[in-house]
Amino acid sequence: MQIGDRGKALFREWEGVVPHVYLDSGGAPTIGIGHLLTPSERSSGTLWLRGQALRLQDGMTADDCEALLEQDLEPVQRCVNSAVTVPLTQNQFDALVSFAFNVGNDAFLNSTLLKRLNAGRLDEVPAELARWNRDNGRVVPGLVNRRNKEIALWLRA
């Protein structure tokens, strides 16, 4: 599966579209639509997009932000597709991609959420999503809101 248009629209809403480097709620340097800068990108001042180096100090266009989101979503979609063993609706898939994108593939792969999902306990996924509302040990209102929207998307027919 691939993330749908509804899921992509929610990424723009949740992450924002910011064409310059900023610090996210956890203090991590970020650009575009939730792209966390890697140590290499921070030290070099460039990121690779569409096979070309893009200087961070020059900022990004709206098209660059969209292309970077697509590039960033590819490994997350592969992760969700390979890890989930039960059938999903498009909305459920989109909610999981959003979640995995936010917490990271490793956290998703090692989560109780994934274990319960693959055991066929789909009704427990919303409660598991809601548990992931902290950054650096403290509850973050933005994460509470994001999880609530992912839960709503998960439950949407």
**Per-domain residue ranges for the chain?**
5-155
93-122 mean pLDDT: 97
Residue 13: the pLDDT is 87
* Whole-angstrom distance, CA of residue 39 vs CA of residue 58: 18
- pTM greater than the 0.75 cutoff: yes
Q: Is 128 a catalytic residue?
A: no
Q: CA-based angle 107:33:42, to the nearest 5?
A: 75
Strands of the chain, DSSP E: 18-23, 29-32, 35-36, 46-49, 52-55, 134-135, 138-139
* Whole-angstrom distance, CA of residue 142 vs CA of residue 111: 21
Answer whether residue 15 shows pLDDT above 90: no
Residue 90: the pLDDT is 96
User: Which is catalytic among the residues 13, 15, 41, 128?
Assistant: 15
Angle of the 141-155 helix axis to the 5-15 helix axis, nearest 10:
170
Q: 5-155 has which fold?
A: Lysozyme (1.10.530)
Radius of gyration from C-alpha coordinates of the chain = 16
Mean pLDDT across the chain: 94
Answer whether residue 11 shows pLDDT above 90: no
- Residue 24 — pLDDT band, cuts 50, 70, 90? confident
For the segment 50-94, what is each residue's pLDDT rounded down to a tens digit? Answer: 999 999 999 999 999 999 999 999 999 999 999 999 999 999 999
Residue 58: the pLDDT is 93
- Residue 6 — pLDDT band, cuts 50, 70, 90? confident
- Please give the structure tokens belonging to residue 3: 């993330």
